[in-house]
Amino acid sequence: MSVRDERTKQMKNIPDKETSELIKTAAQKILAGELVAFPTETVYGLGANALDAAAVKKIFAAKGRPSDNPLILHVSGIEMAETVVELNWRARYLIEKFWPGPLSLVLKAKAAIPSVTRAGLDTAAVRMPDNETALALIRAAGVPIAAPSANRSGRPSPTDAAAVTEDIGGAVSMVLDDGPTRVGLESTVLDVSEEIPVLLRPGGISKETIEEALHIEISLPHDIGLLRRSPGTRHRHYAPKIPLIISGSSAAEEAAKGKWAWIGTKDPAGTPFIKIVFSDTEEYARELFRVLRIIEKSGAETIVAQEPEEGGIGQALKDRLTRASGI
Ligand code: TXA
Ligand code: MG
């Protein structure tokens, strides 16, 4: 299949009038119950009208996503968020500081959200993406857009339009192509529905940054006996088609006997079949998913990934590498 088919619409370097026509068409498709893939600052999303149960079911079918894994509702701002979830002071405070941006907030859901969108839970995740095309689409549709990452379930998230087409091209009516994404890993998912905030998924905004803003320590699901956790973290995730091993283990030494690929911010010991060295941890995070898709097509048999530096985006990167390695 060609990477760019007639459904993929370039959003960069086109006149404003054409942009608004494309957004209008995409919004009409959303309101007609169709699927539209769109860019965000983190990864590309596979969008449907969050309030239309039949449309949302198409997302689960297109991705092969388990029906017990709820979706994030993408909103154009706090007013739209308020139509679907019960905000509290913590949520308002974090929204003021971090929206638009890669922070999804889990809150008590209002009845407006169909059960399928929130996988039967009484909470729902909302976020305002920091991407003009995404925001224009949500505003034009006038409804929250439910969107998981636009990959087949279990595959690395797509950070450009070509990866979307590769995974789920046949299922979408339109792909809005805004070039490669800026962050490259998904949003942080923070549950603020109860007294104790819980970090359900590390992501684009680090735990320390949120702790500094709230002046309290954020709990992890394990700290509270997994009473609250992200259903998505139960499922196998982010897997490339060949095994990924984190450096330093005996398995990594074993891999070095075959055709192996190296990814990291430093040079590897030994001679890999392919070597990808990033400038810093940010680039490692931003390019990880794209590079995994390239390496799996290269003929390499194993990927050895350097353990990332702690702090900042390093935590989210380590989470994704660990889950890609199947540990
Ligand atoms: O950056 C992102 O978050 C991207 C872009 C497209 O916005 N989206 C994304 O969606 O990564 P997805 O579906 O791949 O991941 C959503 C995560 C899952 O782990 C899901 O279980 C969790 O958010 N989640 C959603 N609603 C939840 C809820 N009510 N309670 C707990 N976890 C929830
Ligand atoms: Mg995903």
> Among 16-30, 194-208, 245-259, 292-306, which is the least confidently predicted range?
245-259
Q: How far is the CA of 149 from the centre of ligand 2 (A)?
A: 4
Q: How far apart are CA 170 and CA 158, in angstroms?
A: 15
* Residue 131 dihedral angles phi and psi, to the nearest 5°: -150, 125
Tell me how crowded residue 52 is: count the other CB atoms within 10 A of its CB: 19
Q: Report whether 172 contacts 33 (CB < 8 A).
A: no
Residue of minimum CA distance from atom 20 in ligand 1? 232
Q: Report whether 186 contacts 42 (CB < 8 A).
A: yes
Question: What's the residue count for the chain?
Answer: 327
Site to probe by mutation for ligand 1, drawn from 43, 59, 230 as the one with most ligand atoms within 8 Å of Cβ, is: 230
pLDDT reading at 327 higher than 70: no
Mean pLDDT value across residues 148-171? 94
Proximal ligand: closest to the CA of 159: 1
Mean pLDDT value across residues 228-255? 80
Query: HEC states along 67-116?
Result: CCCCCEEECCCHHHHHHHEECCHHHHHHHHHHCCCCEEEEEEECCCCCCC
Q: How far is the CA of 250 from the centre of ligand 1 (A)?
A: 33
Q: Which residues face 109 on adjacent strands?
A: 85
Residue of minimum CA distance from atom 15 in ligand 1? 148
Q: How far is the CA of 157 from the centre of ligand 2 (A)?
A: 6
The pLDDT-based confidence of 232 (bands split at 50, 70, 90) is confident
Mean pLDDT value across residues 235-258? 82
Indicate the pairing of strand 145-146 with strand 123-127: unpaired
What is the atom index within ligand 1 of the atom nearest the CA of 102?
A: 1
What is the atom index within ligand 1 of the atom nearest the CA of 45?
A: 6
Mean pLDDT value across residues 228-247? 81
Tell me how crowded residue 168 is: count the other CB atoms within 10 A of its CB: 24
Residues with CB under 6 A from ligand 1: 40, 42-43, 45, 69-72, 102, 104, 106, 118, 121, 123-125, 129, 147-149, 186-187, 189, 200-201, 230-233
Half-sphere exposure of 306 (CA within 13 A, CB side): 21
Q: How far is the CA of 177 from the centre of ligand 2 (A)?
A: 19
pLDDT, position 4? 53
What is the atom index within ligand 1 of the atom nearest the CA of 129?
A: 7
pTM for this model (two decimals): 0.95
Cα(first)–Cα(last) distance of the chain, in Å?
Answer: 33
Q: How far is the CA of 16 from the centre of ligand 1 (A)?
A: 32
Distances, alpha carbon 74 to alpha carbons 24, 148, 222, 300, 306, in Å: 17, 10, 27, 37, 33
Q: How far is the CA of 258 from the centre of ligand 2 (A)?
A: 31
pLDDT reading at 153 higher than 60: yes
Mean pLDDT value across residues 158-171? 95
pLDDT, position 1? 31
pLDDT reading at 240 higher than 90: no
pLDDT reading at 238 higher than 80: no
Q: Characterize 196-231 residue by residue with b for buried, 16 or more Cβ atoms within 10 angstroms of its Cβ, and e for exposed.
A: ebbbbbbbbbbbeebeeebeeebeebeeeeeebbbe
Whole-number average pLDDT of the chain:
93
Mean pLDDT value across residues 112-138? 98
Mean pLDDT value across residues 241-265? 89
Q: How far is the CA of 253 from the centre of ligand 2 (A)?
A: 30
> Among 11-15, 249-253, 257-261, which is the least confidently predicted range?
249-253
Residue of minimum CA distance from atom 32 in ligand 1? 230
| Residue whose C-alpha is closest to residue 148's, from 69, 214, 227 | 69
pLDDT, position 256? 79
Mean pLDDT value across residues 198-203? 96
Angle, helices 161-168 vs 281-295, to 10°: value is 40
- Give kind and range of the element (H or E) at residue 276: strand 274-277
Q: Helix, strand or coil for residue 167?
A: helix
Residue 86 in tokens = 């019960």
pLDDT reading at 236 higher than 70: no
The amino acid at residue 269 is A
pLDDT reading at 268 higher than 80: yes
What is the atom index within ligand 1 of the atom nearest the CA of 185?
A: 1
The pLDDT-based confidence of 252 (bands split at 50, 70, 90) is confident
Share of the chain above pLDDT 70, in %: 97
pLDDT, position 235? 64
pLDDT, position 19? 86
The pLDDT-based confidence of 134 (bands split at 50, 70, 90) is very high
